[in-house]
Amino acid sequence: MDESRVTLEDLTPVRKRLRIEVPADAVNAELERAFQRVGLRARLPGFRPGKAPRTVLERIFGDDVRREVLGHLVEHSFAHAVEEHRLAVVGTPDLDVEGLTAGEPLRYAATVEVRPTIVVGDLGGLAAARPSAEVPEEEVERILGAMRESTAQLRPVEDRTTVETGDVVRVDLTSRLEGGEPARREGALLEAGGGSFPLALERQLVGQHRGAHLSLRVPYPADYPNAGLAGKTVDFEVDVGDIRVKDLPPLDDDFARDHGKCESLAELRARIRADLERQAAARADDAVRDALVEQVLTRHPFDVPPSLVERRTDALIASLGLRLPEGPERERALGELRVQVWPRAEKQVRAELLLDAIAACDGVTVSDEEVAAEIVAIAARERRVPEQVRALYDRPEARAALRAKLVRDRVLAGLVARARVVPSAGSVGVADEK
């Protein structure tokens, strides 16, 4: 197999074409071995095992044997070509293979994407501003308020029929997205006056009456979080049902014991503040690292394999957990979402490739013991049984991904240590997170 001849063509810095030729004698030898194996296994009337003539085997098994041999020759000659030219292939090769003919060489082309060659340059003079990690008192109160809301009891309204802001209204509604198929929901609970934009359905419920039938048009803003609705207009037919109000529990020591697992409200406030401060410090650290990565990327321009960006785009979209419309609208919404997410995915891939290059240049590694320790730490952070987390990382690809992350974290820590980091007057809130 190593007798194959290979020529390499550079299409771009990250896209190569391999032209591979397997000599005729290697093709014939592989076909002969394959037919011998088939002959030993075949049970044909009139012939003892291993005694059927080649012509008979050709007639009965020829197509299957040639397909098997073709796959075997391509797989092994391609692997040899990649090793010979030391290509760091990413993704699946695009093969152009015509077929296999006895007595003739096998010739085919394989177009592949490869990791870029990155020459690490100057990493000195980096600087970043670290946002404040202070937590204002109103943020603590906002969390306490959300906890109260989550434990509220709904009480039917008996003394009025008009919907007021803050009421929870049961509605039956039919929605139609810009001429698409209608969708029906019954018994949906909506908080009147809610919604993140002026014409939100929840806001239009305020002032309506129990038993009313409404025809409403809701134009969703272009930056609406649900990509399937962003920039779209939805027509609603709404039947207003029961009106309820939320009874909030008093904010006292009993609340802290029942819902916060703390002995007092003061202790609960302190725990909330400590959690928020840890989160704020983590966001501030992320902001410093992001700023330094941005500077290093600016100093190191390079091409990125599109297949890596495609896979990262798909992963990011999946992580959003969005509800996309059905039918033809789904493909359009998904296409628009891919366009929006692609730059973020490309930046992430570009940063990881550069951090990997810096790690290779500086000899940054992570030992098996450090990987094992991180798995234990993950279990502790997520309050899971260590054996369960270890089982997740038993797969080689999962363990390799964890090792790569730890290596990149170590490179980032080195960049931060070398950089000039100064405090900033601003803060990084939850809304500022990427």
320: domain CATH number?
A: 1.10.3120.10
Question: Which structural domain range is residue 47 located in?
Answer: 5-114
Decide if 401 is inside a domain. yes
**How large a percentage of the chain has pLDDT more than 70?**
97
Instruction: Choose one of 182, 217, 247: the last residue of a domain.
Output: 247
Per-residue tokens: 296: 């290093």
Domain co-membership, 417 together with 326? yes
Tell me: the pLDDT tens digits for 369-394?
999 999 999 999 888 988 889 999 99
Tell me: the pLDDT tens digits for 194-216?
988 999 999 999 999 999 999 99
Decide if 232 is inside a domain. yes
Distances (CA, A) of 433 to 25, 287, 414, 421, 430: 61, 9, 23, 20, 6
Decide if 137 is inside a domain. no
CA distance 228 to 334: 8
Domain co-membership, 323 together with 385? yes
Total number of domains constituting the chain: 3
Domain co-membership, 292 together with 421? yes
Domain co-membership, 306 together with 423? yes
Distances (CA, A) of 326 to 188, 229, 284, 341: 20, 12, 40, 20
CA distance 65 to 59: 11
Decide if 254 is inside a domain. no
Domain co-membership, 313 together with 427? yes
Domain co-membership, 313 together with 425? yes
Reported for 138-143, long-range contacts at CB under 8 A and 24+ positions apart, including other chains, are 139/276, 140/269, 140/272, 140/273, 140/276, 143/272, 143/276
- State how far Cα 265 lies from the chain centre: 39
Is pLDDT above 60 for 113? yes
Whether the Cβ atoms of residue 234 and residue 178 lie closer than 8 Å to each other: yes
Domain co-membership, 310 together with 395? yes
Is pLDDT above 80 for 227? no
What is residue 434's predicted lDDT score, i.e. its pLDDT? 43
Decide if 143 is inside a domain. no
pLDDT band at 429 (very low <50, low <70, confident <90, very high): low
Decide if 224 is inside a domain. yes
Phi first, then psi: give them for residue 85, nearest 5 degrees. -95, 5
Is pLDDT above 60 for 72? yes
pLDDT band at 110 (very low <50, low <70, confident <90, very high): very high
